[in-house]
Structure 1
Amino acid sequence: MAQEIDEQFYERADAHIHLSNEQAQSIGRGKVSASMMYATARFNAWVSATGFSEKEQMASTRQETIEYFVEQYRSMLESNLDDYISNFESYMQVGDTNV
């Protein structure tokens, strides 16, 4: 199921981050994070559904689909946490509120 990273991968990710940074200015990071995770889960459920012609097919791969997306998220989260730990001083300058 894994796909190669295309040339626009980080541009699309940055667009989502930019929108989240804008929203966080008025509502708070925690609420924006929760909304973003929900949107990602909802979109990924839809992406998964588009690969099937019957709900029984989708249901039969439910656990495999969950494991795939959780594994991908975990890998990306670990990588980004390691990046922030390694670059904490430069990323987290006083007053910086953006990702």
Structure 2
Amino acid sequence: MTDDNATNTQANETEGVALDPQFFTATNAYLELANQQGQTFGMKRVSAAILYAAARYNSHAFIGYETNPAANKEAFVEYMLDLYRRMLEENVDNLIENNQAVANAGQA
């Protein structure tokens, strides 16, 4: 986990965004729980549950801080869709790159 935190922090700092290390601590805690649940419920079911839970939590947060949620709903949804797309692409790219590095190391 420490290496992941350093890598993630370094990657985000190069993009001009310094994330709080507690962000990665919280992320790793959710991943640990997801991995535990995956053993019982299966990866696909847990993946869907995580997405649904995130949608519920983010909707709850939006309603809690937004003064006019009906008027700003569409902008919020578009923002969240874009944010998720960027996070998903970053993580898929990282896994592809890391798996390639591992595969190439074995061929050397």
How far the C-alpha of 1:6 sits from its partner, in A, is 1.7
Q: Which of 1 and 2 has higher RCO (CA within 8 Å, sep 6+)?
A: 1
Going from structure 1 to structure 2, the CA distance change for 1:34 and 1:21 (only over 3 Å counts) comes to: same
Runs of 4+ in 1 over 3 A off after TM superposition: 89-92
Going from structure 1 to structure 2, the CA distance change for 1:34 and 1:46 (only over 3 Å counts) comes to: same
CA distance in 2, matches of 1:91, 1:43: 36
TM-score, length-scaled by structure 2: 0.73
Identity %, equivalent residues: 33
Structure 2 gaps, min length 5: 1-16, 104-108
How far the C-alpha of 1:90 sits from its partner, in A, is 6.5
Tell me the equivalent position of 1:87: 98
**Aligned residue pairs: how many?**
87
Structure 1 or 2: more helix by fraction: 2
TM-score, length-scaled by structure 1: 0.80
Structure 1 gaps, min length 5: 93-99
Q: CA RMSD in A?
A: 2.0
Moved more, 43-52 or 83-92: 83-92
Q: Is the 8 A contact 1:20 1:32 kept in 2?
A: yes
Tell me the equivalent position of 1:97: none
